[in-house]
Amino acid sequence: MAQKKLAIIAAKGTLDGAYPPFILASTAAALDYEVQIFFTFYGLQLLRRELDLKVTPLGNPAMPMPMNMDKWFPTMLTALPGMETMMTTMMQKKIAEKGVASIQELRDICQESGVRLVACQMTVDLFDMQPEEFIDGIDYAGAADFFAFAGESDICLYM
Amino acid sequence: MAEFAQEVDASGLNCPLPILRAKKALNSMEKGEKLRVVATDKGSVRDFAAFTQQTGNPLLESSEDSGKYIFIIEKG
Give this complex's ipTM: 0.92
- The boundaries of the domain holding residue A13 are 5-57+102-158
Q: Which residue, among B65, B61, B64, B63, has the nearest Cα to B73 in the 3D structure? A: B61
Question: What is the tens place of the pLDDT at every residue in A87-102?
Answer: 999 999 999 999 999 9
The answer to whether residue A78 is domain-embedded is no
Q: Which pLDDT value is given to residue B45? A: 97
Q: What is the pLDDT of residue B25?
A: 98
Does some domain include residue A33?
Answer: yes
Q: Does A96 touch chain B (CB under 8 A)?
A: no
If you write DSSP's letter for every residue of A74-126 in order, what string do you get? Answer: -GGGGGSTTHHHHHHHHHHHHHHHTTPPPHHHHHHHHHHTT-EEEEEHHHHHH
Among A80, B15, A56, A18, which residue's Cα sits nearest to residue A65? Answer: A56
**A65 falls within a domain:** no
Single-letter amino acid code for the residue at A150: A
CATH number where A153 lies: 3.40.1260.10
Q: What is the pLDDT of residue A65?
A: 86
* In a domain? residue A120: yes
- Please give, rounded to a whole number of angstroms, the shortest distance from the CA of B42 to a CA of chain A: 12
Report the pLDDT value the prediction gives residue B2, as an integer from 0 to 100.
Answer: 52
B74 an active-site residue?
Answer: no
- Looking at residue A136, what is its pLDDT? 98
Q: Is the pLDDT score of B3 beyond 90?
A: no
Strands B59-65 and A155-158: unpaired
pLDDT value of residue B33 = 97
Mean pLDDT of chain A: 95
Cβ burial, residue B29 (10 Å; 0-12/13-18/19+):
middle
Query: Is residue A68 a part of any domain in this protein?
Result: no
Residue A70 counted as domain residue: no
> Is residue B1 predicted with pLDDT exceeding 80?
no
Q: Kindly identify which residue of chain A lies nearest to residue B39, measuring between CA atoms.
A: A99
Burial class (CB in 10 A: 0-12, 13-18, 19+), B51: buried
Q: Beta B68-74 vs B59-65: how paired, if at all?
A: antiparallel
Q: What is the DSSP letter of A48?
A: B
How high is the pLDDT of residue B17? 97
Q: Name which residue leads in pLDDT, B76 or A61.
A: B76
Smallest CA–CA distance, residue A8 to chain B, in Å, is 17
Mean pLDDT within A139-148: 97
The predicted structure's pLDDT at residue B31: 97
For A25-49, write each residue's pLDDT tens digit. Answer: 999 999 999 999 999 999 999 999 9
Least CB–CB distance from B23: residue in A23, A30, A99: A30
The per-residue pLDDT for range A63-81, each reduced to its tens digit, is 888 888 888 988 888 899 9
Residue A38 within any structural domain of the chain: yes
The string of pLDDT tens digits covering residues B41-53 is 999 999 999 999 9
Q: How confident is the model at residue A128 (pLDDT cuts 50, 70, 90)?
A: very high
CB contact under 8 A, A30 and B19: yes
Q: A–B: how many Cβ contacts below 8 A?
A: 33
Total domain count for chain A? 1
Asked if the structure places residue A96 within a domain, the reply is: no
